[in-house]
């Protein structure tokens, strides 16, 4: 008898507390394409998620699912998250675009944000970052630190986003050193530490004394450290993998954006937006610059950064020539449309794009 009373009281209390809290915080679900890991694409999204939690406190309750394959599985995970009562769902890989749109149709009262996609809907907003702005700064620094005038770039697949990075880096280098050359090796994989390492060693063997990459592992940084060369980190700070090698890091920052989007949902003011944020918006940074970099070089990079924020410097302002001499843009800044279709190497990149 007494036991039943206690049990009843406990469950009533539990119910009360659940309803008292469950009604309050906004459920935010995240879908990650890989494990959170230590230094990659997903790591930065998870840092963003935590930052949002810190900023909004008890107003949000987040949930994430990692290592979700793109395609049919993603659809199931996204609709699970919607069913569990999350009112804002953030999907963080290109391949989630169609699954996100499909689930969004079934849950019109749930808001969705898809990263790196291009399709929006009444309840689906999109966002991406202008990584190439920070790549330009990395190129400026690389040109100042290179003695061979050759930089190496380990790249995954020849899609516009990767080409923007290669080209911006090259233009950054060339703005300082007109003799600079960037050699590119495609490894045809987002993630294969063995290949990334071999590609790096090949580039170093061919004279590159600064390397960088658009792939997901830390192998490039480690190989550069081992060979006593410089490297620019991508995604995250990789100082711990290359304490002497790391010149700086091109990093992503999603926290502020996620916070602002969640706040908009809480306030009932959310609208589907299409955001392509750069350094000015705090979504991309060139940071963790090595102590080995001389003060005047640091100052130069900082000046260029200010110019980018002010809008007086854009990495792809005309004239933009491709590496076969064809003029791709006469003058003025390149349109977002042209940027998102980039399929050529700019002047200064060695070789030809594969399959062209």
Q: Which residues of the chain form contacts with other proteins (CB under 8 A)?
A: 35, 37-39, 152, 183-189, 191-199, 201-203, 205-206, 217-219, 222, 226, 240-241, 350-356
Q: Smallest gap, in angstroms, from Cβ of residue 25 to other proteins? A: 28
**How far is 191 from 194, CA to CA, in rounded Å?**
9
Nearer to other proteins, 237 or 281 (CB): 237
Q: Smallest gap, in angstroms, from Cβ of residue 352 to other proteins? A: 4
**How far is 166 from 135, CA to CA, in rounded Å?**
8
Residue from 104, 169, 131, 144 nearest 252 by CA: 131
Q: Smallest gap, in angstroms, from Cβ of residue 252 to other proteins? A: 18
Q: Are 151 and 181 in contact (CB under 8 A)?
A: yes
Q: Smallest gap, in angstroms, from Cβ of residue 229 to other proteins? A: 14
Total residues belonging to the chain:
356
Q: Smallest gap, in angstroms, from Cβ of residue 244 to other proteins? A: 13
Alpha helix ranges (H) inside 218-294: 219-227, 255-266
Nearer to other proteins, 39 or 313 (CB): 39
Nearer to other proteins, 112 or 241 (CB): 241
Nearer to other proteins, 27 or 37 (CB): 37
Nearer to other proteins, 108 or 194 (CB): 194
Task: Enter the tokens of residue 348.
Answer: 């200064």
**How far is 174 from 59, CA to CA, in rounded Å?**
48
Q: Smallest gap, in angstroms, from Cβ of residue 320 to other proteins? A: 20
**How far is 12 from 94, CA to CA, in rounded Å?**
45
Residue from 130, 101, 125, 105 nearest 115 by CA: 125
Task: Enter the tokens of residue 12.
Answer: 């009533």
Nearer to other proteins, 205 or 332 (CB): 205
């Amino acid at each position: 008898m007494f036991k039943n009373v206690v049990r009843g009281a406990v469950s009533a209390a539990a119910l009360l507390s659940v309803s008292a809290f469950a009604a309050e915080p906004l459920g935010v679900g995240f879908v990650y394409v890989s494990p959170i890991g230590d230094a990659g694409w997903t790591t930065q999204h998870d840092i963003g998620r935590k930052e949002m939690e810190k900023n909004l406190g008890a107003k949000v309750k987040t949930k994430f699912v990692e290592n979700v394959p793109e395609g049919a599985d993603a659809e199931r995970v996204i609709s699970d998250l919607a069913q569990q009562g999350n009112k804002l769902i953030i999907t963080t890989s290109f391949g989630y675009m169609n699954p996100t749109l499909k689930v969004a149709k079934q849950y019109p009262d749930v808001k969705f944000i898809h990263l790196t996609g291009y399709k929006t809907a009444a309840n689906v907003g999109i966002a991406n970052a202008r990584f190439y702005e920070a790549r330009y700064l990395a190129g400026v620094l690389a040109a100042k630190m290179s003695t061979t005038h050759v930089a190496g770039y380990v790249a995954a697949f020849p899609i516009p986003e990767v080409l923007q990075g290669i080209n911006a880096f090259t233009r950054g280098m060339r703005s300082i050193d007109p003799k600079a050359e960037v050699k590119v090796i495609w490894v045809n994989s987002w993630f294969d530490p063995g290949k990334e390492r071999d590609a790096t060693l090949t580039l170093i063997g061919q004279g590159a004394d600064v390397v960088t990459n658009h792939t997901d592992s830390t192998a490039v940084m480690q190989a550069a450290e081992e060979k006593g060369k410089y490297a620019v980190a991508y995604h995250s700070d990789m100082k711990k993998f290359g304490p002497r090698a790391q010149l700086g890091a091109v990093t992503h920052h999603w926290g502020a954006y996620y916070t602002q989007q969640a706040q908009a949902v809480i306030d009932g003011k959310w609208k589907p937006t299409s955001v392509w944020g750069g350094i000015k918006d705090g979504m991309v940074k060139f940071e963790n610059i090595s102590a080995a970099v001389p003060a005047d070089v640091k100052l130069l990079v900082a000046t260029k950064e200010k110019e980018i924020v002010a809008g007086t410097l854009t990495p792809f302002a005309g004239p933009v020539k491709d590496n076969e001499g064809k003029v791709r843009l006469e003058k003025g800044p390149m349109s977002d449309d042209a940027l998102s279709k980039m399929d050529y190497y700019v002047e200064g990149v060695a070789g030809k794009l594969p399959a062209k």
